[in-house]
Structure 1
Amino acid sequence: MNKDELFSFFHNIGLVPVVKIDDAEKAVPLAKAMIDGGIPCAEVTFRTAAAEEAIRKMSEAFPEMMIGAGTVINPELAEKAVNAGAKFIVSPGLNPATVEWCLERNIPVVPGVCTPSDIEKGLSYGLNVLKFFPAEASGGVNMLKNLAGPFPQVKFMTTGGISTANLGEYAKAANVLAIGGSWMVKADLIDNDNWAEITRLCKEATCALQGFEFAHLGINNDSVEESEADIKAFSTFGMATNRGNSSVFMNKSIEVLPKQGRGAKGHLAFRCNDIERAVYYLENNGFTLNKDSVSLDAKGKMKVCYFNEEVSGFAIHLIK
């Protein structure tokens, strides 16, 4: 997998758990718990002596899992990590020697930055994906918004002070590629073999990342006359009528169609933080994208889509 494919994967998965592990024998059950939780990805930090062997065991047991190394502060650690099977390197800061070692060997590297000067140094190496660390202590989402102006070409992997509580704020930021953290894989959970809780936390995080929010209900009709009868009925309840070109919204929460649209009965629309990422999530949870329904914005990003499956006769519809 080249770096573009890797970074596309990071965007879709959206989360890169930061793993601190003291016993390499726990690496395989940990990896399985994360995969079961919907996150086939990990950044194993070189904060413990077990990191190298943990990377090796995870990589051998689950070659499909995206295993990388974190807290790589010099080329020697980078070499150990890559030899053990690490597919990418992450560092807390930007060490030229480490970056150059990785670039010479075509190893994807994501060095840490927190200032404009750091970012410019990363760009000088041709890197447009950087780690924003420590995220919360360095200004959090507001800082990222300010960095987006002078550095529109840069995407960030954010780590430091992020949890389920503020995950959504980062997921909404256009220049955030993926979010790192250890709250899903806390050291005490690993030490106590609490794999079920790790799986639960991973599932919780992947769902929270999407920012799903019910947007509106779409109702199909067989004719304009039927739809007008619906509109009159909803108006009786004081709902405002907003007429569009092909449908009528009542209070923006009910869409009345004068024809049979997608879904046997209609559709359920959900807002989300990132439609491409939400599609990846839903396709890993039993849904399949209806490719004919996809609509793109001026930047080539999805702005509307439907899925082939229905829930109680209603099609599922994603919007931003």
Structure 2
Amino acid sequence: MNPVIEKVYQIGIIPVIAFNSVEEALPLCKALADGGLPAAEVTFRTACAEECIKLIHEQMPEMLLGAGTVLTKDQADRAMAAGASFIVAPGFDPEVCRHVIDKGGIMMPGTCSAGEMQQAMNLGCEALKFFPAEANGGVGMLKNIGAALKSAKWMCTGGVNAKNVNDYLGYDQIFAVGGTWMCKSDVIKAGQWDKITAMCKEAVDTMLGLKLVHIGINSANEEEAMATANAIAGLLSMKVAPGNSSIFVGNKEFEIMKKPGRGTHGHIAIGCNNVDRAIYHLSRRGVKFDLDSKNVKNGKTISCYLADEIGGFAFHLVQA
């Protein structure tokens, strides 16, 4: 996957911004980044878009910038010169796509049919925009198309919000979504940057879906493990299910190891909607990971341990 598209995938939610003035550019992007979303698709619907992209690119190089609502080759050239890392269009124009790709840029054309998607992919577009997503059938539509276009990757915008974001991101061929719910135009005009930061944090937490899955308890041997399992099962009226290397209690809420495993006392599994995305966002919050422990299956990370113990327990993220 192209490094820019990989970054979009890791971030997961790309705020779509129509700036009213250049003065909004830096404080808004700082609010987005502070909230966990260091990215923006700046639409060319307003006259100041090009200048905003240039200013953000120069003053906040850590921001991943895309240019949206790009309709012409001239707009694409201006956006890329200003510092946009990818170009997004509301529709599919083969000439604009070919122009951006020939210049070494990343083009995400707007598509809403299998025919448009196939043509765009054959032109060399690695990522597609599905727009307007909800009006065109949403995730269900893409699952039907994805059965035939198995290599297609979509960023969905148009009707995506806090309530349905995980319906979209839960489908593997959707690598990201674009949205405005965390930075509404009236909030931007009012300069309520703290509110935008809070909304972004909430959006990231919703997307990650972190939750306790199970607690693993180390034992010296199988006999000790069974005694511990029976004690917990008796206390909570749960079933006991012996396995090869451990004994599960209840619906696998407890895993009693038959010999000492990772962690001084054991391990705690935290479920999430996407392990790669959780690693990216939690790393930005200062969490350190043992990346050598990553377990990848069919190209997708399904688990990874934190580098450090907490309270004598090893922690790892698992695909929920």
TM-score, normalised by the number of residues in structure 1: 0.95
Q: Residue 300 of structure 1 corresponds to which residue in structure 2?
A: 299
Q: CA shift at 1:264, angstroms?
A: 2.5
In structure 1, distance between residues paired with 2:314 and 2:284:
18
Cα offset for 1:34? 1.1
> 1:211 offset after TM fit, Å?
2.3
* SS of 1:264 mapped into structure 2: coil
Equivalent runs, 1:9-24 vs 2, <5 Å: 9-24=7-22
Partner residue in 2 for 1:99: 97
**2:106 equivalent to 1:127:** no
What residue is the counterpart of 2:285 in the other structure?
285
Give the match's secondary structure for 1:312: coil
Cross-structure match for 1:256: 256
Amino acid at match of 2:241: N
Alignment deviations for residues 154-200 of structure 1 (CA, whole Å, 9 cap, x no partner): 11001011111111111111101111101112111111111111111
CA contact (8 A) 2:162 2:203 kept: yes
- Equivalence for 1:141: 139
For structure 2, the 5+ residue unaligned runs are none
Q: Secondary structure at the match of 1:150?
A: coil
The count of residues paired between Structure 1 and Structure 2 equals 317
**Counterpart position of 1:201:** 199
Counting only pairs closer than 5 Å after superposition, residues 68-107 of structure 1 correspond to structure 2 as 68-107=66-105
Does structure 1 conserve the Cα–Cα contact (< 8 Å) formed by 2:230 and 2:240? no
* Kept after mapping to 2: 8 A contact 1:221/1:227: yes
Secondary structure at the residue paired with 2:2? helix
Q: Any residues of structure 2 matched to 1:163-312 within 5 Å, and which?
A: 163-236=161-234, 237-251=236-250, 252-297=252-297, 299-312=298-311
Letter matched to residue 223 of structure 1: N
In the other structure, the counterpart of 1:313 is 312
> Which residue identity lines up with residue 303 of structure 2 in the other structure?
V
Aligned residue runs from structure 1 range 3-42, under 5 A:
4-42=2-40
Counterpart AA for 2:242: R
Q: Distance between the aligned counterparts of 2:126 and 2:288, measured in 1?
A: 32
Whole-Å Cα distance in 2 between the matches of residues 105 and 280 of structure 1?
Answer: 30
TM-score normalised per structure 2: 0.95
CA distance in 2, matches of 1:94, 1:261: 53
Amino acid at match of 1:315: A
Secondary structure of the corresponding residue to residue 208 of structure 1: helix
SS of 1:164's partner is coil
- Partner amino acid, structure 2, of 1:309: D
RMSD between aligned residues: 1.5
Report if the CA contact (8 A) 1:171-1:210 is conserved. no
What's the CA shift for 1:279? 1.3
Q: Amino acid of the residue matched to residue 51 of structure 1?
A: A
Following superposition, the deviation at residue 227 of structure 1 comes to 1.3
The superposition leaves residues 134-166 of structure 1 with CA deviations (integer Å, 9 ceiling, x where unpaired) of 111111111121121101101100101111111
Matched-pair contact (CA < 8 Å) for 2:217–2:266: yes
Q: CA deviation at 1:37?
A: 1.3
SS at match of 1:311: coil
C-alpha separation in 2, matches of 1:80 and 1:307: 43
Give secondary structure in 1 for the equivalent of 2:307.
Answer: strand
Q: Which runs of 5+ in 1 are unaligned?
A: none
SS in 1 for 2:309: strand
Matched to 2:243, the amino acid is G
Q: CA deviation at 1:20?
A: 1.0
Amino acid at match of 1:43: E
CA shift digits 1:221-276 (9 cap, x unpaired):
22322211112112323211122111111111111112222222222212222211
Letter in 2 for 1:188: D
C-alpha deviation, 1:313, in angstroms: 2.7
**AA at the equivalent of 1:150:** A
The percent identity for this pair of structures is: 41
Maintained 8 Å contact 1:304/1:317: yes
Which residue type is aligned with residue 179 of structure 1? V
Letter of the structure 1 residue corresponding to residue 211 of structure 2: E
- Greater shift, 158-167 or 78-87, is seen at 78-87
Q: Structure 2 CA distance, aligned partners of 1:76 and 1:281?
A: 35
